[in-house]
Amino acid sequence: DTAVSQTPKYLVTQMGNDKSIKCEQNLGHDTMYWYKQDSKKFLKIMFSYNNKELIINETVPNRFSPKSPDKAHLNLHINSLELGDSAVYFCASSQMDRGSYGYTFGSGTRLTVV
Amino acid sequence: AQSVTQLGSHVSVSEGALVLLRCNYSSSVPPYLFWYVQYPNQGLQLLLKYTTGATLVKGINGFEAEFKKSETSFHLTKPSAHMSDAAEYFCAVSGNTGNQFYFGTGTSLTVIP
């Protein structure tokens, strides 16, 4: 029973298209995140939601729009995809009042824009 | 404010040799410290963590790390490297709340047969 699940695992699409990545966690955590991992493996936080409320919104093009319908789900929609959006996107979850728990990550979505 | 520095973006060791991956942190509060491992084409998996208590922490796959407050370090070690240890390793620090989480830039471990 996967704790944090992302779909799809691979996504290949053409420039200019719009795509979505979905994330679900069954850990009962109240906070979820999107991270972008570039080709050098550097992890950059993009967004964070706590109980459906946006709490972290890093400098990310507004073509990226997160949506959290409930605290167990966090989706990422990307409009007008560009070559530079190619990366691995990770969803993660944590419990806001328990820094000692750390984060639990999904297996990632490898996005390739051609 | 918190931050993490991982010295050495690439480390190569021979199979059977000691693995040492370095991590230093800065934190204005007592930190929680983590090591995550990312195997090729996979997500990040928790290797071990320090919260309170014993400063030598044991994790999965024979890895361990020691929290040294005086040196602000949390280096990861394994006595004998296996080929299967080849992966990307991330050190991270957290404060009391779950959204104060900072990753290092990662260290890629290569194991030479």
Express each pLDDT in A50-88 by its tens digit.
Answer: 888 888 888 889 999 999 999 999 999 999 999 999 999
- Has residue B26 got a pLDDT over 70? yes
pLDDT of residue B94: 87
Q: Which residues of A touch B88 (CB under 8 A)?
A: 41
Distances (CA, A) of B21 to B8, B12, B71, B106: 8, 10, 15, 10
Is the Cβ pair A102, B32 closer than 8 Å? yes
Residue B29 pLDDT grade (very low, low, confident, very high; cuts 50, 70, 90): confident
CB A66 within 8 A of CB A54: yes
**Is the CB of residue B51 less than 8 Å from the CB of residue B32?**
yes
pLDDT tens for A17-36 read 999 999 999 999 999 999 99
Inform me whether the pLDDT recorded for B97 exceeds 80.
no
Give the DSSP letter of residue B14. E
pLDDT score recorded for residue B3: 87
Residue A99: per-residue pLDDT:
79
The pLDDT score that the predictor gives to residue A58 is 81
Question: Which of B45, B95, B103 is facing A99, going by the closest CB pair?
Answer: B95
pLDDT of residue B98: 62
Segment B30-83, tens digit of pLDDT: 789 999 999 998 999 999 999 988 999 999 999 999 999 999 999 999 999 999
Q: CB under 8 Å to A62, separation ≥6 — which residues? A: none
The pLDDT of residue B36 is: 97
User: Chain B residues with CB inside 8 Å of A102's CB?
Assistant: 32, 34, 46, 49, 92, 94, 101
Contacts of A101 in chain B (CB under 8 A): 98
pLDDT for the residue B41: 87
Q: What is the tens place of the pLDDT at every residue in B4-24?
A: 999 999 999 999 999 999 999
The length of chain A in residues reads 114
| H-helix or E-strand spanning residue A13 | strand A10-13
Among chain A residues, CA nearest to B39? A107
pLDDT at residue B47 in the model: 96
On the 0-12 / 13-18 / 19+ scale of CB atoms within 10 A, B72 is middle
pLDDT of the residue at A100: 82
Bridging pattern class, strands B107-112 and B10-14: parallel
CB-CB: which of A50, A108, A110 is closest to B99?
Answer: A50
> For residue A26, what pLDDT is reported?
96
The burial class, CB within 10 Å (0-12 / 13-18 / 19+), for A86 is: middle
- The band of A110, judged by pLDDT with boundaries at 50, 70 and 90, is very high
Strand bridging mode B87-94 / B73-78:
unpaired
Q: How does residue A89 score in pLDDT terms, banded at 50, 70 and 90? A: very high
Nearest Cα to Cα of residue B11 among B89, B92, B113, B74? B89
Q: What angle do CA A18, A19, A20 make, to 5 degrees?
A: 140
Bridge partners (DSSP) listed for residue B91: B35
Q: Where are the beta strands (DSSP E) in B39-100?
A: 44-50, 56-58, 64-68, 73-78, 87-94
B96 contacts A99? CB cut-off 8 A: yes
